[in-house]
Structure formats: C-alpha cells, structure tokens
Amino acid sequence: MSYTRRDFLQFAVSAGAVFGTAGLLGSPSRALAQQKLTQDDLLRFDSKGQITLLHFTDVHAQLKPIYFRPPDTNIGVGAFAGIPPHLVGEEFLKTFGIERGSPYAYAHTFLDYVDLAKAYGRLGGLDRTATLVKAIRAERGEDKVLFLDGGDTWQGSYTALKTNGQDMVDCMKLLKPDAMTGHWEFTLGEERFLEIKESLGYPFLASNIFDSEWDEPAFDNTAMFEKGGVKVAVIGQAMPYTPIANPRWMFPKWSFGIRPDVLQANVDAARADGAEVVVLISHNGFDVDRKLSTVVKGIDVILTGHTHDAVPCAVQVENTLILSSGSHGKYLGRIDLEISGGKVTGYSSNLIPVFSDVIAPDAEMAAKIDEVRAPYKDEVSRVIGRTETLLYRRGNFNGTWDDLICQGIIEARDTQIALSPGFRWGTTLLPGQDITIDDLYTETSMSYPAVYRNEMTGAQLKDVLEDVCDNLFNPDPFLQQGGDMVRVGGMTYTCSVNASIGSRISDMKLTATGEAIDPAKTYVVGGWASVNEGVEGPAIYDLMEGYISGKQTVAVPDERTVQVIL
C-alpha cells in the first residue's frame, strides 16, 4: 500500500492535540499566536519501542531561522499523481486533517502564507534543532537514539561559500550525527570533500558511489549500531544523478547511480551480519525511494531527502516506512520503532516543525553559530535593497526569486531570454523586508556561479526545456533527477506534463513582442550554473547584487510564464 488513511488520521489527532483548532485567517497578533504553542507541545510524541530515529536533511547551510514558503505546485505523474508528497494547499490539509490557518498549515502549505508568517515567525535555526535533539536524547536515553543527516548540508549560504563548508561542519559536530550521506557536498570538489570527510568524526555513507577506474566502492556503505539492545544497520545512498545535475569535472574519479542490485547486496550483507533493523539514509528523492522500496527487499525505514518534501508522518510502502523531513532546517523528523523477534512490530512518526520563536536556542550551538559567522557579520547583514512583494523559489514551474534573477540577467547581460536553474534551495522574503547579502546568497551561493551569454536556436531552446521537463515528469521515478523546472525570463510556453519527451513543450513565445519562437532562428540567452567547465561570465551573486542595488526597491508580481496542462 502507498499509505493508509488510519496513519493520517492518527497524525491528525496528534496534530490537533498539539496545535488546537483555532484558525488564524485574519491578522492575529504574534503574541497570541505564540501563546498557542510551547516547546513541550512540539516535543509531545507517542514514544514507542526501543529505537528512535531522528532525521535532518537538506538544510542547505541555513544556520539561522528562516522563512520558506512551501510550493503551490508539486505535480506527480503516473502512479504517483495525487498522493504524498504531490499534494499542496487544501488537498494537503484535507489529506492530513490539518485546519487551515493553524501552525501546521503554515509550516506545510502556501495558503495565507504572508499573514501566517507574520503571526508565527521564522522556522529553523540550528540552535533550535540542537535543543530538540538534546531533549529527545535526554527523554529516550542516548542508547536508544540515532541522529542521521541526509545531506545537502554544507552548501547554500554566504558563510558556507566563504569557508568551503567549514562553518556547517563545525556546527554539525555539536549535533553529533551518527552518519550522513550527501549531494551538493561534492560540489566543493574532490579534494575539499575528502578533507572534510576525514575530519567529520562520523561516517559518510554512500552505497551507490563507485571508483570510476576500478569499479569498486568508493566509500563505506554501511554502519552498524546497537540501540536499545537492537542491532541496527544504517546504509547510505547519495544523490544518484550528481554528475548530471552538477559538474562532473569537480569529482571525475567517482561514478554514481541508483544501483538497486548493489543496495540489495548491502542490505542482505547487513542482515547476515545480524542486523534486526535496516535503515536507508537516502538522497534519492521521495518518488525514487517509493519505487526503490518495492524493488529492494529488507529495508525497514527510508529516511529520504533531496526533493525537499515535508510529509507530516511516515508513509508505508509494502514493508518499508518512508519519512521525508523537509528542508532548510524547518523540521526534525522522528520515527520510533518497536522491535520484536527481529522485526518492526510497531512505530510512531512525526515531523517536528522548528518554530524559532517557541523553541529556546541551545546555548552551546548558538555560541558556535555566532563564532563561525563573526568574521562575516557586517557583510552578511549589509542591505542591498528592499522587496515590495513576496520573494520565494519553490514550485514546479516558477518562483519570484528566479523571476527577479531572470530580470537581472536580461538587463545586465543584454539578452533576449534568461534561464535560471530549478533549484529547490533558497529561502523566502516577505513583502516589505530588506534584502541583505545573506538573503541574496541563500539563492545563489555555489561553486560554479558564472553567468553565461550564448546564442541558441529556438530548436535548441526547446530541446533544453524538453530535457529538463523529462527529468522532472518522467513516469519512471528512476529517470527523475528531483529538481524543479528551469525558470525562464523573456519568454512563455505551454507544458503538457503527461505527454512524452519531445512533445511536452509548445507555444514558445517572446514576452517582449508576443512573437513565436522560431526553431531556426537564433536568440541571445543568458543563464547560470552551467555544468560545463570553463564557463565565462560574472558570478550570479555579483551580478544580482549590482542589479538589486541599482533598483533599491524591487517588486516582482507572481506572474506565471508557463501554461500547464495536466
């Protein structure tokens, strides 16, 4: 089964007990909203069994609390249409029994987002996560808790870029993960990645990465633990399409892939070694792991990441539980397992929303965050402009942050069309907020930031859009790469999601003139984050700093440049 209504109803009852039923659709005072929440409420949980798994993934170097608007479009295709995680808005609330206007509705949906953000404040902050982790370890006992980091941890902020990930490494050590896997970590380059890996103090696990020359495992695949008197195997699965989604030239010695046969062999080996519970900490993405759980036998729990999906409770697929714990530090995922006779006989699960105004910051972690950010304090807080409108990134086809980036590229690079990659990382700014260097770099900080300016034919443009669209909407999850659709500026088009590759993109037009894009004609196109080596152009964060500073105030209407046909 994909999921059960009983599981969701159990979650709804739990959420109702924690968050109450009072709506917040008007403009409630922040103080009144916070009175409805306490740290003890957030930690309330139906503790069960011998083992507690804590899951943290896709923080993208966000040390401080943030705003992050959930997507209004998250389309599933084929057998995965209309089921978690492909639910948004009212359908999401209905499925999980969450009342509109409640804290959980704010944490999980785009509905009433600005009003609720003003009421409930930011989420996340590694010092708040540390408070929760320490509290759960104290309540359950260190010998029962495994804390696992799903990756995309060292990239995504100004300070992470300037320190080559060291700020995150130093802070994460205080959380004491038991193991991690990864994805964007590899974009620091092979040498830096290996340097950090050796200094972690806990294993980096990747069952699916092999040495390209010798075709043998490049990293450890499994770590064994005894928790609550139970032998637990943790297997790691790094993002399988890293050399396609990111520059292969940065890590040329390693080959990636899903490799279900290799994973099955590692699961079998763990069982043969006495593991009573097998946990996969994965950066495959939700739909990939949903399919994987039906292909590879013997995995009890998959803690999935990469696609940034936040599902309030674990989804059961055949004999495997799948939990997806969101992104940007907004949540801490938890699954308790009851083990009897070497099998999982019961479980409880939840995502804990990390409401930063409710949770007391952990003093040790707060001090470390201040320490690693201190050399950059003046620069990250430097204001370069102000936004009159909501700036967000997530959504299958558009986000106003990327609309702004496309405007900047078109103007600064003198292009007709702009492309911005469909990254799912990047935080949100509310209307009326200042734009700081910190904010800009949460959208743009990366190790291959050059803004190119090329000529492309209309046919080549269509091929690019078709290729990226197939990565997102191929009905076989094993052929999906987990990002959102490339954003466009200066043009519009129609996307038929359920068509086949080569037939999804049509009606391409230039925005400025309404003229149809001619397959044989050449157009000037700008973009950034090319995976090709030696790309020339200004860094995207420098280009956008100049563009925003020149405007001082930006207003980006939430216009949809893509007509979507389901």
Q: Are residues 386 and 347 in the same domain?
A: no
pLDDT at 21 over 50: no
Q: Side chain identity at 387, as an amino acid letter?
A: T
| One domain for residues 168 and 98 | no
Q: What pLDDT shows up at residue 192?
A: 98
Residue with more model confidence, 347 or 12: 347
The structure tokens listed for 460 are: 């080549």
Task: Name residue 64's amino acid.
Answer: K
pLDDT tens, 510-559?
999 999 999 999 999 999 999 999 999 999 999 999 999 999 999 999 98
Residue 483: which pLDDT band, with cuts at 50, 70 and 90?
confident
Strand arrangement of the beta sheet that strand 383-387 belongs to: 434-436, 383-387, 553-554
pLDDT given at position 12: 47
pLDDT at 34: 52
Among 322, 342, 372, which residue terminates a domain? 372
Decide if 41 is inside a domain.
Answer: no
CA torsion angle 254 258 261 262 (round to 10) = 40
3 state SS of 123: strand
Domain-located, residue 43 = no
Locate the DSSP E strands across 481-542: 487-489, 491-496, 505-510, 522-528
Q: How confident is the model at residue 30 (pLDDT cuts 50, 70, 90)?
A: low
**Of the candidates 322, 353, 372, which is a domain's last residue?**
372
Other Cβ atoms within 10 Å of 514 Cβ, number: 8
pLDDT band at 35 (very low <50, low <70, confident <90, very high): low
Residues 360 and 224 in one domain: yes
**Residue 266: inside a domain, yes or no?**
yes
Q: What is the CATH number of the domain that holds 554?
A: 3.90.780.10
- Cα–Cα distance between 57 and 280 in angstroms, integer? 13
Report whether pLDDT(174) > 90.
yes
- Count of domains for the chain: 3
Q: What is the per-residue pLDDT for 15?
A: 52
Domain assignment present for residue 304? The answer is yes
| Chain-centroid distance, C-alpha 467 | 22
Contact criterion met (CB below 8 Å) for 235 and 280: yes
The answer to whether residues 343 and 452 belong to one domain is no
What are the angstrom distances between the C-alpha of 72 and each of 221, 384, 427? 36, 28, 15
Q: Which residues on adjacent β-strands are paired with residue 387?
A: 554
Do 411 and 296 have their domain in common?
Answer: no
SS3 383: strand
Report whether the peptide linkage leading into residue 85 is cis, meaning its omega lies within 30 degrees of zero: yes
| Chain length of the chain | 566
End-to-end CA distance of the chain: 25
E strands in 238-381: 254-255, 277-282, 301-304, 315-317, 320-324, 331-340, 343-353
What gap in Å lies between CA 558 and CA 151, rounded to an integer? 31
Kindly tell me if the per-residue pLDDT of 221 is higher than 70: yes
Q: Do 222 and 309 share a domain, yes or no?
A: yes
Residues 192, 82 share a domain: no
CATH code for the domain of 228: 3.60.21.10
Using CA atoms of 95, 101, 106, 110 in order, give the dihedral in degrees to the nearest 10.
70
Q: Which of 347, 372, 397 is the last residue of a domain?
A: 372
How many angstroms separate the CA atoms of 516 and 303, rounded?
45
Identity of the amino acid at 61 = A
Residue 418 lies inside a defined structural domain of this protein = yes
Domain that holds residue 61: 48-66+125-372
Task: Mark whether 75 and 220 lie in a shared domain.
Answer: no
| 223 pLDDT tier (thresholds 50, 70, 90) | very high
Task: Check whether 16 has a pLDDT greater than 90.
Answer: no
Q: Give the Cα-Cα-Cα angle 178, 253, 541 (nearest 5 degrees).
A: 75
| Residue 342 burial (CB count, 10 A) | 12
| Pair (430, 540) in one structural domain | yes
Distance CA 187, CA 442 (A): 16
Rg for the chain, CA atoms, rounded: 23
Strands laid side by side in the 491-496 sheet:
505-510, 491-496, 562-565
Distance CA 277, CA 270 (A): 9
Residue 3 has pLDDT above 70, yes or no: no
CA dihedral 353, 357, 363, 365 (to 10 degrees): 40
Judgement on whether residues 469 and 505 belong to the same structural domain of the protein? yes
pLDDT digits (tens, 9 = 90+) for 101-133: 999 999 999 999 999 999 999 999 999 999 999
The first and second tokens of residue 522, run together, are: 């050449």
At 10, is the pLDDT very low, low, confident or very high (cuts 50, 70, 90)?
very low
Query: Rounded to an integer, what distance in angstroms lies between the CA atom of residue 253 and that of residue 441?
Result: 29
Report phi then psi at 525, rounded to 5.
-125, 135
441 and 525 share a domain? yes
Domain for residue 231, yes or no?
A: yes
| Residue 434 counted as domain residue | yes
Does residue 193 surpass a pLDDT of 60? yes
Quick: pLDDT tens for 85-103.
999 999 999 999 999 999 9
Residue 248 pLDDT > 60 = yes
Q: What is the mean pLDDT of residues 404-412?
A: 98
Averaged pLDDT of the chain: 94
Residue type at position 236: G
Checking if the pLDDT of 373 tops 50, the result is yes
108 and 153 fall within a common domain: no
Position 13 confidence tier, pLDDT thresholds 50, 70, 90:
very low
Residue type, 72: D
- Confidence at residue 4, expressed as pLDDT on a 0 to 100 scale: 45
Is the pLDDT at 24 greater than 60? The verdict is no
pLDDT score of 482: 79
- CB count in 10 Å sphere of residue 6: 8
Q: Which residue in the block uniquely carries the two structure tokens 């674990």? A: 314
